[in-house]
Chain A
């Protein structure tokens, strides 16, 4: 293991990789800081560029961008009361109240400092836990993996969504899209409509760029697009009170980081759920719960640490089983597969240095967040004033060229547009988009594991549950799905947010 870490360190300290990390960090910070541009969109737009990179810098770019964007989403939340990413929404009241009281540097400092500590905590857990879980998972067969994938999909649809029925339909659409092409156990062309371009299936990169970037541009086009103005023009020293707060609230830091990591590991629950749950827990155990929402640092510390630690946590199932916890790790798994680093327990045996390089990138990205985060906070009011009406057309052009670049194919530009329109229509009607991506990424694996398991058991369904670990995984998956259905029936409606007529 030590030798692999030394090799990984050499890979990560390569000047080209360090340049990619720094550039992605600045990019992630700027995009995350602008309201309306999400961390997922930042990551999706980057994927066409990673196509041209070797594996380690490609993954480094994804990891760094998402880490930075999740933190920098705190900035517009604090200055404008508009969270840059959903993960910052839980504590936006507290941070904005601090700004109104003339202390934006305190709110931003807490966001930065405790995000770094939370991120490093999650990374440490990932470094220790992933190889151990992978070692355990080496004995798994197709049946166990079938249930692991089902657990990932079930969790994503039934835990992470406020509209389970619509999320389920989104997931099924994604799984059906994954059926297109010849990538099936029989090697038979399916649903290709006699198009040679479709034989290889739907191109993942144009699809993700369309769903996360093109649809965002369309949403902007129907909004008024005016840039909100920050109430502050100058931000004071950021780190002045951080050491004092760390000593004052050590349990909040540890509890937030630990809960964030655990929530991150659970499929389907990402940084935003981690932030909300940690904020609620902080209030529940606080000696001064009445101060929450009025510019009190306690909840900010716990939830700020939590959302960044959950990012590293989400990579544990992503690396060990290839199960994405959220849309960002779904994109990351797509990139890993493109780079012949298909995630799974064997990656720890065959390419440990590549996995350890991912761990080290997490450490570097979190450490780099301190100086670069400080810099973005200092120029935040200027970044926030960049009008979206200027950015969005440029993002669309970037999406067009990025989709074209993968195969030099205008067909892929059409794929990008089609999925952009699909995502726009789905979101307009309260269907979540992330399950579509999960379905497309995991569909081929799910089919392969299912068919292999069925062949092994001569077509008997009992073969899916006749091994102890498979039976436990099946029970957990069915339990999650059953519990959500029962909860929905008790509340009298299968989806909590039905579309308006």
Chain B
């Protein structure tokens, strides 16, 4: 998604406001002259200044254009769907890795992403299993990372 500089400037202006508000309320237990709020306040001030310049230049350049534009790829439903598969795959892993284990979740994620990219189904299945086993070996066997096993726990090697 592309937004123009006016919209971007307003978003960052709002962000600087949020940071400034959150910084004001920070306690200063040791009563130092510059407490934990000092530096974030300076940064939020600088961000507000930059955001305002961006918004002003964006407003001059935009005239009657839309605040939020779409990049060429965003007009294609399939490209948008492929893009959303990335966060969906990561969220799927976060939600189900503990329950189903790495060796079930990882190949599933890979198969879906391979198929979305146009890989043939048999290749996708073979590649997914091979890649998941190699990555599992690198992290579990070589580095000792405790990847979740899920229902495959009895098979743990």
Contacts and interface: CB of A to CB of B under 8 A. Distances in A.
Interface in B1-60: 1-5, 8, 12, 19, 22-23, 26-30, 32-36, 38-40, 43-44, 46-47, 50-51, 53-54, 57-58
B155 interface: no
Interface in B113-144: 113-114, 116-119, 127, 131-132, 135, 138-139, 143-144
- Chain B interface, >50% SS class: helix
B119 A390 contact: yes
Interface string A386-429: 00011011101110111011001010011011001100010011
A176 B3 contact: no
Interface string A476-501: 00000000000000000111001111
- Chain A interface, >50% SS class: helix
A221 B82 CA distance: 6
Nearest to B110: A393
B152 interface: no
Nearest to B111: A393
Given A186-B32, A495-B57, A225 B93 contact: no
B65 interface: yes
Interface string A357-390: 0000000000000000000000000000000011
Contact of B3 (A173, A179, A429, A494): A429
Contacts of A398: 135
B104 interface: no
B119 A413 contact: no
Contacts of A413: 90, 93-94
A417 B131 CA distance: 21
B33 A175 contact: no
A289 B44 CA distance: 49
A319 B45 CA distance: 32
A128 interface: no
Contact of B36 (A186, A392, A501): A186
B154 interface: no
A49 B143 CA distance: 8
A429 B2 contact: yes
A176 B41 CA distance: 10
B86 A214 contact: yes
21 contacts: A165-B50, A186-B35, A188-B28, A188-B29, A188-B35, A190-B40, A222-B73, A225-B117, A390-B119, A401-B102, A413-B93, A416-B90, A417-B90, A429-B2, A429-B3, A454-B33, A459-B33, A498-B4, A500-B69, A501-B66, A501-B67
